[in-house]
Structure formats: structure tokens, C-alpha cells
Amino acid sequence: MITGMTAGVRQEPRDAARPGTPRRPRLPALLALLVGLAGVGYRLALVLADAPPTNSDEATMGLAALHIARGEGFPVWFYGQAYMGTLEAYLAAPLVALVGPSVLALRLPTLALYALFLALSWRLARRLGGDHWYALLVVGFLALGSDRVVKNQLIAGGGYPELNPAGVALALLTVGLCAGGTASGRAGRAAPGIDAEPERPRAAARLRRWAAWGLVSGLMLWVDPLILPYVLATGAVLVARRRRELAGRAGLVVTAALLLGAAPMLLDSLRHGRNPLTAVLGASGGDAAASWAERLYGGLVLGPPLGMGFCSPGHCAGWQLWWALAFPILLLVAAAAAWRTLRTPLPPADLGELSFGRDDKSPRSGQLAGRGDRWVSAAVRLALLAGAAAVLLAYTVSSSAGQTPVESARYLSCLAVATPALLWPLWRAVRAGLFPPRPRARAAGLVALTVLAAILGTAAVATVTAIRRAPAIHAEADRHRALVDALRELGVRHVRGGYWTCNRLTFATGEEVVCAVVDDELRPGFDRLPTYRRAVADDPGAAWVAPVGSPLAARLDRQLGPDRGDLEVVTVEGWRVYRPHP
């Protein structure tokens, strides 16, 4: 009978939308997934093709990972300095232990960090009020990658690959902690024995979010203080919106988690009396000579296009510099839009928490919840924009912007954290101008659409140019592998070479070949690990290694033969190995 009664009833699919519930747009989410996978796949293909080119700084992090994997040491800082934490070495150490020293083992963790950055950016774009199509736009832009951008994201040279996912994670945690009501506030209004028990898991979940915010902040302050503007800006939003909650257990949890994340830095400072901030300021080139004209040009003209992926490898063409003008304008427009939203009167944070809960079904509560969410979105957008502006300002006033603007643009890698806030005004103008009744809105939408097309087009051109360089980079990596094989065949175990040769060679051989740094005049150079210099000095048969055509090779060529320096040369493609005569 039951079967008969139900036979004629139409069965609803499980995923059918409930009445009044908007269907979740699946097409843009699917497209974003495909675009994100394409971005990860593009970078994986570059890594497998030995691009971007590795260097001795990345090899130094690799040597730290090798020592960690062997249990020979657990470094706090990048070798040879008292700043820049070695988190990348600890992430890569299990792979190095498993497969041995290789650039691939170093870059698989950084590639995973990039994939996390994309996923978090998608989520942040949605949480800040954007629809699925806007989140797709953000992912599409971040999936592109010029030479400078993929270097920042993939090279395990100290700090840069971690910055972007950490900055976006801080923003997401801030949104989650500020939007809606607190579990403690709702629990305080619950009748005894009715709602208090279900609120406990919610309160524990909030404490975990507070702990996560503190832990990420502490870790990044140890790894690289470039993230500090975003820490301070999102922290200001939390203080403004949740100050009463921070005055209780949440504040204790945040403080404890932050200290835990920064523990390696703090313990090392206490143990050795070192000040990482002083080391960072000294490394910024503050004492070097650079005119303000050079700093302003390198920071404000070259900086934004290079740092955000609009330029070709190694230089910016004139037409690619348009972003230097568009970036500050867009920054100001986005900040002004967020500020207008913030000026909308809202109930005080702690009183508003009584009505911001999503479980309250009263019309007034729903209205307040919507206004509260808009306030939080605007506040976090403004925090991201303020963080980006502070990063650009700090870079511009440093001498690095004037002395080495192309290579030093890596200090602007975390500008990408602000992408979901930066592109927001353009997207809103495009949406408002699709079918507007007013010509002014239609014109603004057309201008915004043109700017978005220029952004994606310029970044795509820079990406294609980076791809074209991959074969040459792969060929150079093959020549370096041939050098490693030749040294092993010759039985050479100790060599001298330039800075950009030594640690790369030592890491590639797993310390089978140890290299000490010399300058172009054969004088001792900067060895990040002094033990290598002592080992080379103890070997009377130590060789010399130099790239073909380098000043060091030219200097050594003058010592060839028994009468001039008692050296003989072995030529490997792209390299020259100089050995003492037996």
C-alpha cells in the first residue's frame, strides 16, 4: 500500500534547490577551478623545464633543507644573516630526505603554496561581496604569471612564496571573525539549559580562528616582515570590531598563538642578542647612495608593473608602464568606495553583535546583518588597500628601489594580496554599465571594461614572454648538470668560484663538491657557510670553476700553464674548470 501511495509521487533530486533558496551558480565556479588548475599546471610545467632559473640563494635554502633532513642542524635564519626565516627549508626537508637534493624538491612546496593562494583568493573575493564571476576574474588574473611573478611564487629563496597565501588567509580570518555575531554573545542571551550547550562548539570554533590569525601572523613575522602592513591593517579591523571580545579569552589566545608562531625569532633574539628589525633595515640599503629621483622612479614607475606581473623578463617596455599610473588611481578609487561604505552609520560593534547573528529571523535582524556584512567587507577591503599602499611606500623610500629596481621588485610581491579589493571598483562599474538607462553609467562601464581588458592583456603578454624564455633556461640547467657530472668524473671535491656558482654547485652535488666563494680578483668572497671555506683551504688540490666569458674566467686564463700559475683547464659546455698541475 505504501508503495502504491508513493509510486505516483515525483521524486525530487537530492541537490534540488529549496523554495526561496537561490541556485548556486556552478558555471563560474567550474571555470574558476579550470583556470586555477591551468595556473598551477603552467607553473608546474615551468618547474619541470627548470624555469625560473635557480640561483645560489635558492640553493642556500636547499642546503638548510638538506641539513634538516639529515638531522645535522635546524637553522632559524637564512644562512649568513639574522633575518628571513627558514620555513621553506622545513617544508622541503621531507622531500629532500625522500628524493635527494633537487630544485624540484624545493619547489613542490612553493607550488602548493601558490595553489593555496588561488583557492583562498577565490574565497576572499566571494566573502568581500563579489559574485562568482568576480571571483573568477580574480583567479584568472592571478593565474597569469610574468617572469618576476613566477620567481616570487616558485623560487624557494626565502619568504616570498609564503607571503601571499598568508596575507589572504589573514584577511579571510578577519572577515570570519568580524561578520555576524559572536558565539559568546548569543550564548549569553540563551535561556538556561536550552541554547547554551550548542553555543560551546561555536565559541571553540571562534577561538580556533583567533588562534589561526595569531599563528599565521607570528609565523610570517619570523619568515619575512614584508607582511607586517597587512598584519597591522587586519589587526586594526579586529580591534575596531571585536575589541570587547579581544579583552577576554580571545585576546589571550591571539597573543599566545602569535608568540608561538614567532617563537623561533624570539628565542634566537634572546639567545644571541640579535635584533631582526635592525638586520632588515640594514639589508634594505638605507645607508647606500640613491637619489630621491631614482627611488621614486624605481618605486612608483617601475615598481607596480614589475611587482604585479605586467613586464617582460628583466625590463619594462614603455607601453607596459601604463599600470604605474593606473595602479595608484585604482587604489584611491577603491579606498574611497570602501570608506563611503564605512561611513554608513551602524550600531556599535559590541551592541550590534546582539542583532548580527544569521540565525535570528526577524526582519530587523536581517537588515542589520546585511549592513554589518557590508561594513565588514568594506573594512577588510580598506585594510588590504592600506597594506598595499604601505608596502609600496616602504619600498619606494628604500635605496633598493633606486639602485636595483628590476631585481628588487620582488619586495612588492605581496601587492597581489590586495587584488580582490583592488579590482572591485572596476567590476562594479562594469556590472552597473551593462544595461543602464543612464549614458554616464554606460560610459563608466565601458571605461572599466577597457581597463580590465588591458590588465588581463598586458599580464598575458608578459606571461607568454616568460614562457618563450623557458627553453633557454632549460639549456642552461643542462649545462650545469654537465658541469656536476664532469666534476664527479674528475674526482674534484673542493672548488673555488663566484657567489652565484658556489652554493648552487654544492647543493646540486649534495655537498659531494664543496665550494668557497671568491671575487673576480681571486680574493675571498662572502661564504654563507664558513665551514666550506675551511674545507677548501685544507685541500691543496682544490680547483677553480667559472662560467665561460666571465671576468673570473678571464682572470684565471691569465694563470694557465706552468710558467704563469701552474693551472690546467678542462672545458665543459658553458664552464671552465681550472685544476692545479699534478
Q: Please give the radius of gyration of the chain, using alpha carbons only, rounded to the nearest integer.
A: 28
Count of beta carbons in the 10 Å neighbourhood of residue 158: 25
The contacts of residue 270 (CB under 8 Å, 6+ apart) are none
Strand partners, 494: 514
Taking residue 415's Cβ as centre, other Cβ atoms within 10 Å add up to 25
Cell triple for residue 531?
Answer: 665551514
Three-class SS of 350-416? HHHCCCCCCCCCCHHHHHHHHHHHHHHHHHHHHHHHHHHHHHHHHHHHCHHHHHCHHHHHHHHHHHH
| Burial of 4 per CB tally in 10 Å (0-12, 13-18, 19+) | exposed
**Greatest CA separation for the chain:** 110
- Taking the C-alpha atoms of residue 301 and residue 405, their distance in angstroms, rounded to an integer, is 10
pLDDT at residue 559, as a whole number:
78
- Could you tell me which residues come within 8 angstroms of residue 124 by beta carbon, excluding any fewer than 6 positions away? 168, 171, 172, 175, 420
Q: How many CB atoms lie within 10 A of CB 437?
A: 6
Total-model pTM? 0.89
Give the C-alpha separation, 341 to 338, whole Å: 5
Q: How high is the pLDDT of residue 157?
A: 86
Q: What is the pLDDT of residue 344?
A: 75
Distance separating alpha carbons of residues 470 and 458, to the nearest angstrom: 19
Write down the pLDDT at residue 170.
98
pLDDT at 548: 95
Task: Say which residue the cell 627553453 belongs to.
Answer: 471
Tell me the three state secondary structure of residue 546: strand
Instruction: Extract the C-alpha cell encoding 550.
Output: 666571465
Closest residue by Cα to residue 115 from 55, 39, 170: 39
User: Do 395 and 299 contact (CB within 8 A), yes or no?
Assistant: yes
Distance CA 16, CA 12 (A): 7
Residue 46 has a CB neighbour count (10 Å cut-off) of 22
Return d(Cα 288, Cα 463) in angstroms, integer.
33
Burial of 333 (0-12, 13-18, 19+ CB in 10 A): middle
> CA–CA separation, 572 vs 22, rounded Å?
66
Phi and psi angles of residue 106, each rounded to the nearest 5 degrees, phi first = -75, -35
* Cell, residue 203: 565559541
**Structure confidence at residue 192 (pLDDT):** 43
Averages of pLDDT over each 10 residues, the chain, 582 residues? 39 41 74 97 97 95 97 94 92 96 97 98 93 95 95 91 97 92 46 49 90 97 93 96 94 96 91 69 59 93 94 88 96 95 65 36 41 85 97 93 91 96 94 78 91 96 95 96 95 96 97 96 94 94 94 88 71 93 72
pLDDT for residue 438: 79
- Rounded to 5 degrees, φ, ψ at 315 are -165, 165
Order the strands of the 494-497 sheet from edge to edge. Answer: 514-517, 494-497, 543-547, 575-580, 567-572
The amino acid sitting at 188 is G
The position carrying cell 609565523 is 219
418 DSSP assignment: G
Domain map of the chain by residue range? Answer: 26-187+199-279+291-468, 491-580
Tell me, what's the pLDDT at 565?
Answer: 60
Integer distance in angstroms from the first to the last C-alpha of the chain? 102
Closest by CA to 184, choosing from 176, 196, 172, 167, is: 196
Element (DSSP H or E) covering residue 133: helix 132-143
CA-to-CA dists, residue 449 to 107, 252, 326, 441, 456, angstroms: 36, 47, 14, 12, 11
